[in-house]
């Protein structure tokens, strides 16, 4: 490949792990691009970035990024991230997760992370389906949508993730789609800069499973659908539930300052520590 034409974010990737496993047309690539863009805009020190993920297609992203990364268990990355942040608040902890990971099996960890307002950024790529296991419906699948475990259409009501995480106490929450990369990059920038629990919900396309099972075969078709159905929060706030049926509400749901959890822990240690060493970062390497 011509060096000059290489993607400008290639420097952040583990080139020895490419090619990646994502399907053609998957939204994960757009999310990675917007993440690096937002990260640069936020002037985050890439050397301090620790990525944590659970299980699923979106959770494979950290494995391709040339930073410290933990690919953990299904639904639990926020619990690992909590330990990483508390043990060394210098770490810039970013969690990549999906709708199955964060909303189903990891729902409890998600709301408690938000409740603690711990300074981590959670990027939840919501494609409304389980991709890695072959197209089963998830807690965010729209009512009536099809999946291999909903051959007659989903009967359950979907979670509104951003609204839920806001209610749980997150201090920055935004939802955008992969069809709005500029807004998404800006939201990621704000999320990374926010000192507290930040949640970015990216509505994304899974042409392989969601598209195929729901009669939107091409990624372009899906992107178009997301763009057309998107309605910004300011406008959505004025509309009735009936008018919002089937719409994707995009925009910022929360952006406020609140005391942050790892800060509070550090303050407690400053106040209580009797050994003169209120930080135990890297203490495992100390011995006799």
Partner 1 sequence: MTSEDYFIQGNEACARGAIKANCRFFAGYPITPSTEIAEDMAVFLPREGGTFVQMEDEISTLGAVIGAVWAGMKGMTATSGPGFSLMQEHIGYAVMTETPLVIVNMQRGSPSTGQPTMASQGDMMQARWGSQGDYEIIALSPSSVQECFDFTVEAFNLAEKYRVPVMVMSDENVGHMREKITIPEKVEVKARSMPEEGPDTYLPYRADPDGTSPMPALGDGYKIHITGLTHDERGYPDASNPQAHSKLVKRLCNKIRHHTNEISRIKTENVEDAEIIIISYGAPSRSALKAVRTARDQGLNVGFIKIDVVWPFPEEMIQKAAGNAQRVIVVEMNLGQIFYEVQRVLPEVKVELAPKIGGEMHLPEEILKQINSTKD
Q: How far is the CB of 20 from partner 1 (least distance, A)?
A: 11
| 80 versus 197: smaller Cβ distance to partner 1 | 80
Q: Measured between alpha carbons, how far is 36 from 285 in angstroms, rounded to an integer?
A: 32
**DSSP codes, 136-199:** EE-TTSPTT--BTTBTT---SPPP-HHHHHHHHT-SEEEEEETT-HHHHHHHHHHHHHSSS-EE
| 88 versus 133: smaller Cβ distance to partner 1 | 88
Q: How far is the CB of 165 from partner 1 (least distance, A)?
A: 15
| 228 versus 270: smaller Cβ distance to partner 1 | 270
| 52 versus 173: smaller Cβ distance to partner 1 | 52
State whether residue 116 is helix, strand or coil: helix
Residue 124 falls in which region: left (phi positive, over 0), alpha (psi -120 to 50) or beta: beta
Q: Measured between alpha carbons, how far is 225 from 127 in angstroms, rounded to an integer?
A: 13
Number of Cβ within 10 Å of residue 30's Cβ equals 21
Cα angle 136, 141, 143; round to 5: 115
| 69 versus 183: smaller Cβ distance to partner 1 | 69
| 218 versus 283: smaller Cβ distance to partner 1 | 283
* Tokens 């209120």 found at: 278
Q: How far is the CB of 113 from partner 1 (least distance, A)?
A: 9
Q: How far is the CB of 17 from partner 1 (least distance, A)?
A: 6
Q: How far is the CB of 161 from partner 1 (least distance, A)?
A: 18
| 116 versus 190: smaller Cβ distance to partner 1 | 116
Among residues 175, 190, 191, 185, which one has the least CA distance to residue 229? 175
Among residues 219, 222, 221, 180, which one has the least CA distance to residue 202? 180
Residues at the site binding partner 1, with contacts judged by CB under 8 A = 14, 16-17, 47-48, 50, 52, 62-63, 66-73, 76, 78-88, 90-91, 108-109, 112, 265, 268-269, 271-275, 277-288
* Tokens 């952040």 found at: 12
Q: How far is the CB of 166 from partner 1 (least distance, A)?
A: 19
Q: How far is the CB of 111 from partner 1 (least distance, A)?
A: 8
């Amino acid at each position: 490949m011509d060096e000059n034409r290489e993607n400008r974010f290639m420097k952040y990737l583990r080139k020895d792990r490419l090619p990646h496993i994502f399907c053609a047309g998957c939204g994960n690539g757009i999310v990675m691009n917007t993440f690096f863009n937002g990260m640069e805009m936020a002037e985050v020190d890439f050397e301090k970035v620790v990525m944590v993920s659970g299980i699923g297609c979106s959770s494979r992203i950290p494995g391709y990024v040339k930073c410290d990364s933990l690919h953990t268990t299904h639904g639990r990355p926020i619990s690992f991230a909590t330990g990483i942040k508390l043990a060394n608040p210098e770490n810039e902890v970013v969690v990549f997760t999906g709708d199955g990971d964060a909303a189903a099996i990891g729902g409890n960890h998600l709301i408690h992370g938000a409740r603690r307002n711990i300074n981590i950024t959670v990027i939840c790529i919501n494609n409304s389906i389980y991709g890695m296991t072959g197209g089963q419906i998830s807690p965010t699948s729209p009512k009536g949508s099809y999946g291999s475990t909903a051959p007659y259409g989903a009967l359950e009501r979907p979670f509104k993730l951003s609204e839920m995480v806001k209610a749980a106490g997150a201090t920055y929450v935004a939802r955008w789609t992969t069809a709005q990369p500029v807004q998404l990059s800006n939201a990621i920038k704000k999320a990374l800069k926010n000192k507290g629990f930040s949640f970015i919900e990216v509505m994304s396309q899974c042409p392989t499973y969601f598209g195929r099972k729901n009669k939107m075969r091409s990624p372009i078709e899906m992107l178009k659908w997301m763009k057309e159905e998107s309605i910004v929060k300011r406008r959505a706030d004025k509309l009735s539930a009936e008018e919002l049926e089937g719409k994707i509400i995009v925009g910022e749901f929360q952006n406020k300052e609140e005391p942050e959890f790892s800060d509070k822990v550090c303050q407690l240690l400053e106040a209580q520590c009797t050994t003169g060493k209120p930080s135990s970062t890297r203490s495992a390497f100390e011995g006799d």
